[in-house]
């Protein structure tokens, strides 16, 4: 077995705060429109970047008060009429997110969107590739580039960029300034809680994981679930907090881990769900700003500190992969870029 630093995934998780910093610099240097220019904003991607789109669309709508939604790129390509209103003069912004900048569905969806003259295109990527050349506005974060297949550093860097441009388009520059503390806080969180992530991840008595997140955190819960699936081949699912009571909690037993991405505004309701799952025999873990198993103590506004949830959950999946004798850098049946004949 290799030493930890010999795994690209480990290096990428641990080094990601540097990529967050570059993401903030790139957005700061970019010329962005105001939200009022668009009637609707669509965020799109595939796999991890679709989950990033879910988180970003919710944040955009929360910060700007204007309509936004996330659509998988494959759906935008194959079922456009179900996802883009066929109304003349309705002005769209399409935000296409792709680590590689070459994912087939995303490239084809952007080409179709531009051919139909639906509006402007913003691309968020880690590589200056095909998608970037199609963009009206381009955000590229090279320090998010990765050797491993499963997205960790790349996802986090692009999410920081998406968070910052949502704040800027909402005219909330003070939020972007507050984000400058994220890399420092991220380093502290990783240092303080890596051992905790290792302990949970290495426990092979657990056979199912559920990640709960609501509002702007639901897309992040989806991404944490995907990392657990990809890297560890473990049963894993994401849910909104209150939805977990409506059927899924029937799966909770002594072999279950339920991780809650806690908010401040709805903490009482979210903590109650976790408490109920613990009474059913599950192992529960809360992650949040304070009074949780993993605490940020960041003093950064809640709307723009979401990236802090990610590193510990990524490390949990990494250590579980190792404990199961898998290669976290090369998950089963996956490639870093999906290219299709469309």
Same domain flag for 286 and 194: yes
Per-residue model confidence as pLDDT tens digits over 43-70: 999 999 999 999 999 999 999 999 999 9
Same domain flag for 211 and 66: no
Domain boundary among 155, 180, 205: 180
CA–CA distance from 70 to each of 12, 52, 249 (Å)?
27, 9, 27
Same domain flag for 25 and 171: yes
H or E element at residue 235: strand 235-239
Domain boundary among 156, 180, 204: 180
Domain boundary among 180, 204, 235: 180
pLDDT at position 336: 60
Same domain flag for 124 and 221: no
In this structure, what is the dihedral angle of CA atoms 260, 149, 231, 212, given to the nearest 10 degrees? 10
pLDDT at position 239: 98
Split at pLDDT 50, 70, 90, the class of 332 is confident
Same domain flag for 49 and 147: yes
Same domain flag for 12 and 131: yes
Residue 49 structural domain: 4-180
Contact yes or no for 293/196 (Cβ under 8 A):
yes
With a cut of 90, say whether residue 86 has pLDDT above it: no
With a cut of 80, say whether residue 82 has pLDDT above it: no
Same domain flag for 318 and 246: yes
Split at pLDDT 50, 70, 90, the class of 81 is confident
Q: Do the bridges between strand 119-125 and strand 40-45 make them parallel or antiparallel, or are there none, so unpaired?
A: unpaired
CATH number of the domain at 195, please: 3.40.50.10490
Contact yes or no for 332/238 (Cβ under 8 A):
no
With a cut of 80, say whether residue 155 has pLDDT above it: yes
CA–CA distance from 183 to each of 20, 129, 153, 289 (Å)?
6, 27, 12, 15
Listed residue (8, 264, 278, 249) closest to 147, CA to CA: 8
Contact yes or no for 150/328 (Cβ under 8 A):
yes
The mean pLDDT of the chain is 95
pLDDT at position 337: 58
With a cut of 90, say whether residue 291 has pLDDT above it: yes
Q: Do the bridges between strand 40-45 and strand 92-98 make them parallel or antiparallel, or are there none, so unpaired?
A: parallel
pTM above 0.85? yes
CA pair distance 313, 310, nearest whole angstrom: 5
Least trusted range by pLDDT, from 67-71, 78-82, 111-115, 141-145: 78-82
Q: Which of helix, strand or coil describes residue 264?
A: coil
pLDDT at position 90: 85
pLDDT at position 50: 98
Q: Into how many domains does the chain fold?
A: 2
Same domain flag for 9 and 120: yes
pLDDT at position 83: 72
Per-residue model confidence as pLDDT tens digits over 178-204: 999 999 999 999 999 999 999 999 999
Same domain flag for 152 and 69: yes
Contact yes or no for 306/163 (Cβ under 8 A):
yes
Q: What is the mean pLDDT of residues 324-328?
A: 95
Per-residue model confidence as pLDDT tens digits over 223-280: 999 999 999 999 999 999 999 999 999 999 999 999 999 999 999 999 999 999 999 9
């Amino acid at each position: 077995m290799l030493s930890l630093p010999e795994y690209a995934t480990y290096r990428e998780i641990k080094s990601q705060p540097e990529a967050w910093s570059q993401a903030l610099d790139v957005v700061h240097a970019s010329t962005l429109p105001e939200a009022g220019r668009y009637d609707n904003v669509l965020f799109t991607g595939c796999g991890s970047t679709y989950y990033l789109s879910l988180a970003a669309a919710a944040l955009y709508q929360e910060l700007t008060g204007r309509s936004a939604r996330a659509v998988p790129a494959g759906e935008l390509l194959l079922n456009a009429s179900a996802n883009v209103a066929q109304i003349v003069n309705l002005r769209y912004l399409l935000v296409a997110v792709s680590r590689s900048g070459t994912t087939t569905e995303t490239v084809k969806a952007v080409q179709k969107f531009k051919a139909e003259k639906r509006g402007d295109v913003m691309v968020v990527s880690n590589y200056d590739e095909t998608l970037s050349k199609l963009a009206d506005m381009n955000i590229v974060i090279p320090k998010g580039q990765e050797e491993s297949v499963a997205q960790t550093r790349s996802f986090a860097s692009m999410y920081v960029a998406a968070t910052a441009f949502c704040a800027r388009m909402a005219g909330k520059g003070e939020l972007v300034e507050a984000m400058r503390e994220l890399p420092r806080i991220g380093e502290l969180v990783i240092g303080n809680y890596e051992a905790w992530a290792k302990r949970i991840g290495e426990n092979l008595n657990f056979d199912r994981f559920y990640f709960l997140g609501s509002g702007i955190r639901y897309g992040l819960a989806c991404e944490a679930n995907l990392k657990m699936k990809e890297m560890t081949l473990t049963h894993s699912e994401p849910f909104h907090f209150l939805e977990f009571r409506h059927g899924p909690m029937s799966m909770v037993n002594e072999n279950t881990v339920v991780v809650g991405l806690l908010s401040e505004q709805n903490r009482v309701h979210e903590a109650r769900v976790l408490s109920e799952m613990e009474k059913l025999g599950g192992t529960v873990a809360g992650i949040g700003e304070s009074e949780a198993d993993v605490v940020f103590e960041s003093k950064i506004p809640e709307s723009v500190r979401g990236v802090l949830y990610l590193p510990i959950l990524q490390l949990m999946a990494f250590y579980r992969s190792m404990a199961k004798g898998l290669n976290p850098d090369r998950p089963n049946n996956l490639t870093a870029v999906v290219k299709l004949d469309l």
